[in-house]
Structure 1
Amino acid sequence: MSRTGKNTVNPNSDLVAMNRGPLALSRWTSKLKTWVEHVFFRWGFVIALVGFLLGRAYILTNILPFALPFFAAVYIMKRDKIALAFLAVMGGAFTVSIENTTFTFASIFMFFIYNIVFGRFTTKTVGLVPFQVFLSALTAHLSVVYFQQGSLILYDVFMSTIEAGLSFVLTMIFLQSVPLLTERKGKQQSLETEEIVCLIILLASVLTGTTDWFLYHLSIQHIFTRYLVLLAAYVAGATIGSTVGVVTGLILSLANVASLYQLSLLAFSGLLGGLLKEGKRIGVGLGLLIGTSLIALYVDKQADIAVTLLESVVAIIMFLLTPKFIMEKLAKFVPGTNEHSTDQQQYLRRMRDVTSNKITQFANVFQALSGSFAVYGYVEEEDQEKEADIFLSGITAKTCQTCFKREQCWAVNFDKTYDYLREIMQETQEGTLQRNTKLMREWDKYCVRGTRVTELINQELFHFYNEQKLKKQMMEGRRLVAEQLLGVSKVMEDFAKEIQREKENHQIQEEQILEAFREFGIEIGHVDIYCLDQGNVDIEMTIPTASNQRGECEKLLAPMLSDILKETIVVKLEEPSQYPNGYSNVCFGSAKTFSIDTGLATAAKGGGLVSGDSYSTMELSIGKYAIAISDGMGNGERAHRESKETLKLLQKILQSGIDETIAIKSINSILSLRTTEEIFTTLDLAMIDLRDASAKFLKIGSTPSFVKRGDRVIKIEASNLPMGMIQDFEVDVVSEQLKMGDILIMMSDGIFEGPKHVENHEMWMKRKVKELQTEDPQEIADILMEEVIRSRNGFIEDDMTVVVAKVDKTMPKWATIPVFSKQA
């Protein structure tokens, strides 16, 4: 109460109270789940319950094939629960009869005997467990019957063999299904078909142990078997639902011939329930009621139909009361369900995120290393001045420190003394000191030890500049390494972003494309649209294999997509089905705006077989087309090896996504550091973007290239030294916008400088290119090669290579097909 006598009210108290309820319920549910899992899996309640019911289970009134296989499976898979399994099996057998208890104990005892015997011969006894169970069941059954009757007849041997054979088969089944009930399977794991079938057989065998249990005239066995069918039909659909019904009904009919009609009832109910799955739980329950009514009226007209229907109603009520999280958890283990697909997608997304984060971390490491190298990657003028001062300090330490005029020179006349020393140092470096008599006379008058200082500078200067040169080379090497590391870091960052790129939601467009194709009469399985960006379309489809026997994807689907998306679409990849009537997976994508048609001609010096020139044409994944010519120093095998190795390195680096400038610098560094011999290599590289025909030319010691555009001839050149000559150089990049119909001509020096008696090679080549009457790249290459050889009277003076590329607009192979539907 407040002083005014009114109650103080907190405006957020109602909201807090409302939120407290759901939070408390969520915590209670979480604790309940934890407690249930703890009891079922850690304490072994599942093993106790299953063992107890299997100890009671029998078929054909006197065959007990379930108890021993279950005990053997627990002995192999969960040995720490073997005592619990033994007590459960024996307890279940004791509730049936003393005879069952005796046989169960005898069979387990014989299993231990045979296990010890087999263990003496081999340590790998897991694969022999079914045989041990077979011998144990056969020996135990014959022994018990012999002690009870005093003799054995052929019927006893026959029944014992059948029981041992069933135990043999059940052992192999239980070895796969028992771990599914006793261990929690990882979220990312799913059940195989064999595991599902084995689990169904195990559960049906367990329910066989409830044969004589009734609740107000209602069979517990019938209720739980129908509940099991409802779960299977709702979680996995009609196929698994009917399979569970068939297997469960078959095993129940073996236990009691009077329950044979249960086989048809459960199988038909599972099928109907799965087909009515779209109606949620009510639909599945309705399927069980319909199946129960039809089978009961048809098969068992004299029986109490009301009891049968009531058993189904109780099973449906249990099914409706089953918590949702149990259904979802079961569905995650069954392939083909939405929950399983979602769980798999979440797992893949987590793996993708982890991979992307790892790559990003590596990119950050390379970036940090690049920054670390870049700190020492440049030589400043101030640093050179400091190095010179340090050098002069060393000279004065050996000469001036013991001179009596030290104070006069360095305290009173510091600037004058320093200027003299710097001038002597510079003159000595240039080799003009002895000719500068004026400087020498002035220095001798100024310094009492002038000759000694001059000689010492002359001696030490050579070592000083060698150290400076070595230091500069190291720093330039660090700078190059920094650039390379930065390029690798950029590539890794882009790759991490590409991994993180989610599939965009194009559900509306997918439905529109499906509708358009179906209206056209084309059957499509499904459509997945990953990207609809202009020039970067990425679509996947599944179509029946029979519908693509004559190339319908390329002739029909791609032209229809081209009309819908208003750009040229082509088939990128086609994966045919492995089955005759299956579905093929087809990938569609944007066609490049431009295409490159190439022709080439090459000849070795003197008509030899090995040319020192190498060439390469490659289409990169980043939508670019690369043309490269490399000319090794000299001729023959060695020059060919050097040029080929250069292009091989270039191709590998460019395909990784690293910028072409960094790629060339990296190759130059490798060539300059790989050997001490003078081996130089030229490189002529053209990078053409197939989206807009823009081109970049990087010419390293190479000859000019020419672009023929109608009647015009454009020369493209740059001034760069050959690779391997110096460690550090700047790459001049020449950019040019190509157009449709342009013809690019690239050549080695053997072609450009090959014509005899020609003073201006550039003008000669322009004239020959301008006079060309053909636009075919191969014909142009052959004509230029022939012209050069003819000018030399048929003699080949040097290795010659010419590559011709024509830029064309991409023309689709098939015309677009108009689609009269809503466009995507």
Structure 2
Amino acid sequence: MQRIERRVGTQISEVPLNETPAVFSRWTRHLKVRLGHLFIQKGFILLIIGFLLGRALILAKLIPFALPFFVSVYTLRREKAGLAFIALVAGALTISFESSFFVFVAMFSFLLLHQVGRKFWGDLLKIAPFVVFCLSFSTKLAVVYLWNGPPTTYESVMALIEAGLSFVLTLIFLQSIPLLAAQKYKHTLRAEEIVSLVILLASMLTGTIGWEVSQLSLEHILSRYLVLLFAFVAGTTIGSTVGVVTGLILSLANIDNLYQMSLLAFAGLLGGLLKEGKKIGASLGLLVATLLIGLYGSGKTEALPTIVESCLASILFLLTPRTWTETVAKYIPGTIEYANEQQQYMRKIRDVTAQRVSQFSLVFQALANSFSTERFLGEEQEEREIDYFLGDVTEKTCQTCFKKEQCWAQQFDKTYEYMKQMMLEADAGTLLQNHSLLREWNRYCAKGKKVIATMEKEVANYQANKKLRRQIRESRKLVAEQLLGVSQVMEDFAQEIQREQENHYLQEEQIFHALQEFGIEIGHVDIYSLEKGNVDIEMSIPYCEGRGECEKLIAPMLSDILDETIVVKREECSAYPNGYCRVAFGSTKAFVVETGVAFAAKGGGFVSGDSYSLIELGTGKYAIAISDGMGNGERAYYESNETLKLLQKILQTGIDETIAIKSINSILSLRTTDEVFSTLDLAMIDLQNGSTKFLKIGSSPSFIKRGNHVIKVESSNLPIGIIKEAEFEIVNEQLKSGDLLIMMSDGIFEGPLVENHEAWMKRKIKELKTTDPQAVADVIMEEVIRASSGRIEDDMTIVVAKIKHNTPKWATIPAYMYTKKAQ
């Protein structure tokens, strides 16, 4: 294997040839970091900028760049102002002593004025342009007076123009210098910042005027390179803007460069248009612009040097590393690099958010585990409680007994077993009825009756303590289950956040062309998900004047394309005839639920103690709930309505329904000491497969009518809120298409004046001639009132739900010219 040697410090190590790119990559990265630290952090880039701006002139006489640059650096990075001062004076010395003297005096006057007036200025950033204007004008007149005597009107006007330019340049440099002199993480350049940066770079190029190599002007090469770079990175708009601004500033510096503005602007336009051809395409745009405009505007200059300058700029551009162009593109909105950078930033924010949510989930899980102490309370804990009880009994009886040594030292096991058995009998309330045990104990113990009396007395305290400890364990268990439910929801949410957003560019284009081939005009297509059963597509289509093209044409075509039923989820029509409508398409569920409701208050009143709720959850489930507050009137209505509100809010968070019910039970039991409770009848229907969970807490039975058969659904659970901890029985049933689910409060079930309410209700349901949910609810309500002799003795509520297959309204339309299953 060939090897190359490298020297690191004083050691020599061998590197395999196939590792050479990685080594050079590390060197390049290290060099980049060092140069960035040297020029950006240390501020040596200000030396280069200051030197070029110090020798930059306008109309070969005016020096409007030096003082604004120094004041801007002093305002923004005061610790680097010394470097800027030296660089500006050095650059001005290359022009003339008079120019350097003016620059020196202007900057020194600013420092002196700032030391004197900083107590009165306040924020220098706000008044810096005005200070520069006054100093530039006064210093220019003073220098002219020292050199040539009293200034003429022409010299005064030129001084005023130079001060005005300095005023404007100060505003520009205050925006552009931070972009070059400080690193900003994830900084996006606004349009005005881009223009300010270009003006600063063009002003630097004016400092290269007069630098020539073999009659080739350096400012021409660099200005064209600058235009090529921005045109390739940002496109035609930025490219032509950079060309105009750069050409304008160069033409102000030297009137012979006036034609450069047209050349650079046209080069930026062509370079941006041909950027799809990569760097060669952008370079070709510069050469074409040079041939079309450079030859026309050359004037005295020969055509060949202009073409050579453009060729050199193109070569310099072609040699520019790709990482440089990508780095510049990351800061300009609209570029692919900028979009990728933003996407990467958003991905990082998403991952950090998901990590924080996951950490919170772990915290809740740890809290749940800390509350789950019931598993540690087994036989050992029970034995310890028995020992404490027997210890209290013996302390009051055996301590003064003369047979203490014989019972507890010589016959400990026998004594302990007798007392333990009596304690268990006393706890069960059967000690006094167990005569054989009492006779044996009295023969064994000298103070048998006293021990039994003491044990009967102490067992009440033991039972109270035992009940209290059990309640504490049950409360801890409930809190643990609630915390565990919250933890699971947060973990699911964290996983949902981390789910990568898929790009569906190909599928969007295929659907777009398929619809166009069919003759449907489409504005654009956005696909958010193509997951089976969870399709999410948005489109913009022209206003169809209410003809229903989305529902009748587009949705059926998408159904054929994606091999599943697609429907219109929502539609936002255009506000004007020639506009576009925003339409969202999504997967339909396998089943749909139609409901009907009938209710009446006791005695025909206005306020019923019953409440019902129909909740369509985002998880593809449909919840039907009826709550009956104990009693009648407003208080009962408040209790039942509050129960359903809590249920709806908790279910919509995604927490399991069992934990939701237990949470509501805990809240209601702790909220009030009044004996006002609520029943709850909940049915959770899965719209994908029809499976249904019934949680019936103190409620009446429900019935399922399937053809001529009636199925009863019931469970034995206490009303919600009676006890703080309860195990709720869940009944599972599989609903089929065409089934009628009939849920009712006790006012309906127990309302008829009949002996067997269940048989009567089944018979009435079986005799139904209609399957319309609302008609069924009305018929049963009417039958119950008739069977009650026309009286309403209790609040009555009945909810009827019909389960049926979700049959699309419109048939599938074959999508021609398209390969199915765009996935």
TM-score with structure 1 setting the length: 0.91
The one-letter code of the counterpart of 2:719 is P
Question: Alignment partner for residue 764 of structure 1, among 760, 763, 787?
Answer: 760
* Equivalent residue number for residue 3 of structure 1: none
CA 1:61/1:547 → structure 2, altered by over 3 Å: closer, same or farther?
farther
CA 1:776/1:142 → structure 2, altered by over 3 Å: closer, same or farther?
farther
Question: Alignment partner for residue 558 of structure 2, among 552, 556, 561?
Answer: 561
Contact 1:200–1:248 (CA under 8 A) maintained in structure 2? yes
Give distance in 2, aligned partners of 1:302 and 1:436. Answer: 131
1:123 maps onto 2:119 in alignment: no
Q: Which deviates the most, 549-558 or 629-638? A: 549-558
Give secondary structure in 2 for the equivalent of 1:715: strand
Give secondary structure in 1 for the equivalent of 2:754: coil
Give distance in 1, aligned partners of 2:575 and 2:287. Answer: 41
CA shift at 1:516, angstroms?
Answer: 1.6
Give secondary structure in 2 for the equivalent of 1:126: helix
Give distance in 2, aligned partners of 1:139 and 1:580. Answer: 64
Matches within 5 A, 1:779-790: 779-790=775-786
* Equivalent residue number for residue 139 of structure 2: 140
Give distance in 2, aligned partners of 1:125 and 1:481. Answer: 60
* Equivalent residue number for residue 375 of structure 1: 373
CA 1:693/1:157 → structure 2, altered by over 3 Å: closer, same or farther?
farther
* Equivalent residue number for residue 730 of structure 2: 733
Matches within 5 A, 1:637-716: 637-716=634-713
Contact 1:377–1:476 (CA under 8 A) maintained in structure 2? no
CA shift at 1:580, angstroms?
Answer: 12
CA 1:584/1:283 → structure 2, altered by over 3 Å: closer, same or farther?
farther
Give distance in 2, aligned partners of 1:579 and 1:226. Answer: 47
Give distance in 1, aligned partners of 2:210 and 2:299. Answer: 23
* Equivalent residue number for residue 814 of structure 2: 818
1:304 maps onto 2:302 in alignment: yes
Matches within 5 A, 1:43-442: 43-112=42-111, 115=114, 119-186=118-185, 188-300=186-298, 303-376=301-374, 379-380=377-378, 383-410=381-408, 413-414=411-412, 416-431=414-429, 433=431, 439-442=437-440
Matches within 5 A, 1:542-621: 543=540, 553-572=550-569, 587-621=584-618
CA 1:422/1:785 → structure 2, altered by over 3 Å: closer, same or farther?
same
CA shift at 1:22, angstroms?
Answer: 2.2
Give distance in 2, aligned partners of 1:535 and 1:523. Answer: 27
1:807 maps onto 2:803 in alignment: yes
Give distance in 2, aligned partners of 1:75 and 1:545. Answer: 57
Give secondary structure in 2 for the equivalent of 1:128: helix
Give secondary structure in 2 for the equivalent of 1:260: helix
CA 1:819/1:442 → structure 2, altered by over 3 Å: closer, same or farther?
closer
Contact 1:740–1:808 (CA under 8 A) maintained in structure 2? yes
Contact 1:574–1:586 (CA under 8 A) maintained in structure 2? yes
* Equivalent residue number for residue 635 of structure 1: 632
Question: Alignment partner for residue 793 of structure 2, among 772, 778, 797?
Answer: 797
Give distance in 2, aligned partners of 1:470 and 1:676. Answer: 18
CA shift at 1:466, angstroms?
Answer: 0.8
Contact 1:94–1:101 (CA under 8 A) maintained in structure 2? yes
CA 1:130/1:578 → structure 2, altered by over 3 Å: closer, same or farther?
farther
CA 1:705/1:393 → structure 2, altered by over 3 Å: closer, same or farther?
same
Contact 2:3–2:16 (CA under 8 A) maintained in structure 1? no
CA shift at 1:81, angstroms?
Answer: 0.6
Contact 1:709–1:741 (CA under 8 A) maintained in structure 2? yes
Structure 2 stretches of 5 or more lacking a match?
6-12
Give distance in 2, aligned partners of 1:575 and 1:783. Answer: 39
Contact 2:52–2:207 (CA under 8 A) maintained in structure 1? yes
Q: Which deviates the most, 804-813 or 445-454? A: 804-813
Contact 1:545–1:576 (CA under 8 A) maintained in structure 2? no
Give secondary structure in 2 for the equivalent of 1:567: coil
The one-letter code of the counterpart of 2:624 is I
Contact 1:377–1:475 (CA under 8 A) maintained in structure 2? no
Give distance in 2, aligned partners of 1:27 and 1:510. Answer: 41
Contact 1:377–1:479 (CA under 8 A) maintained in structure 2? no
Structure 1 stretches of 5 or more lacking a match?
1-8
Give distance in 2, aligned partners of 1:575 and 1:99. Answer: 70
CA shift at 1:606, angstroms?
Answer: 2.9
Contact 2:608–2:795 (CA under 8 A) maintained in structure 1? yes
* Equivalent residue number for residue 9 of structure 2: none
The one-letter code of the counterpart of 1:231 is L
Give distance in 2, aligned partners of 1:11 and 1:289. Answer: 44
Give distance in 2, aligned partners of 1:429 and 1:444. Answer: 19
Give secondary structure in 2 for the equivalent of 1:127: helix
CA shift at 1:549, angstroms?
Answer: 9.2
Percent identity, aligned pairs only?
60
* Equivalent residue number for residue 4 of structure 1: none
CA shift at 1:486, angstroms?
Answer: 1.9
CA shift at 1:565, angstroms?
Answer: 0.7
CA shift at 1:471, angstroms?
Answer: 0.6
Contact 1:118–1:125 (CA under 8 A) maintained in structure 2? no
CA-to-partner distance for each residue in 1:513-550, whole Å, 9 max, x for gaps?
23323433455566554433321223355x47679997
CA 1:627/1:157 → structure 2, altered by over 3 Å: closer, same or farther?
farther
Give secondary structure in 2 for the equivalent of 1:333: coil
The one-letter code of the counterpart of 2:106 is S
The one-letter code of the counterpart of 1:491 is V
Give distance in 1, aligned partners of 2:347 and 2:89. Answer: 48
Contact 1:242–1:270 (CA under 8 A) maintained in structure 2? yes
CA shift at 1:470, angstroms?
Answer: 0.6
Matches within 5 A, 1:739-750: 739-750=736-747
C-alpha RMSD of the superposition = 3.1
The one-letter code of the counterpart of 1:727 is K
CA 1:706/1:378 → structure 2, altered by over 3 Å: closer, same or farther?
farther
Give distance in 2, aligned partners of 1:191 and 1:358. Answer: 30
Matches within 5 A, 1:390-539: 390-410=388-408, 413-414=411-412, 416-431=414-429, 433=431, 439-504=437-502, 506=504, 508-522=506-520, 527=525, 529-539=527-537
Contact 1:114–1:136 (CA under 8 A) maintained in structure 2? no
Contact 2:75–2:124 (CA under 8 A) maintained in structure 1? no
CA-to-partner distance for each residue in 1:245-269, whole Å, 9 max, x for gaps?
1111121122222211111111111
The one-letter code of the counterpart of 2:107 is I
CA shift at 1:507, angstroms?
Answer: 5.3
The one-letter code of the counterpart of 2:805 is K
Q: Aligned residues, how many?
A: 813
CA shift at 1:344, angstroms?
Answer: 1.9
CA 1:787/1:137 → structure 2, altered by over 3 Å: closer, same or farther?
farther
Give secondary structure in 2 for the equivalent of 1:779: helix
CA shift at 1:759, angstroms?
Answer: 1.6
Q: Which deviates the most, 481-490 or 570-579? A: 570-579
The one-letter code of the counterpart of 1:519 is E
CA shift at 1:393, angstroms?
Answer: 3.1
The one-letter code of the counterpart of 1:767 is R
CA shift at 1:226, angstroms?
Answer: 0.3
CA shift at 1:199, angstroms?
Answer: 0.9
Give distance in 2, aligned partners of 1:64 and 1:549. Answer: 67
The one-letter code of the counterpart of 2:81 is I
Contact 1:378–1:476 (CA under 8 A) maintained in structure 2? no
Give distance in 2, aligned partners of 1:602 and 1:748. Answer: 10
CA shift at 1:635, angstroms?
Answer: 1.9
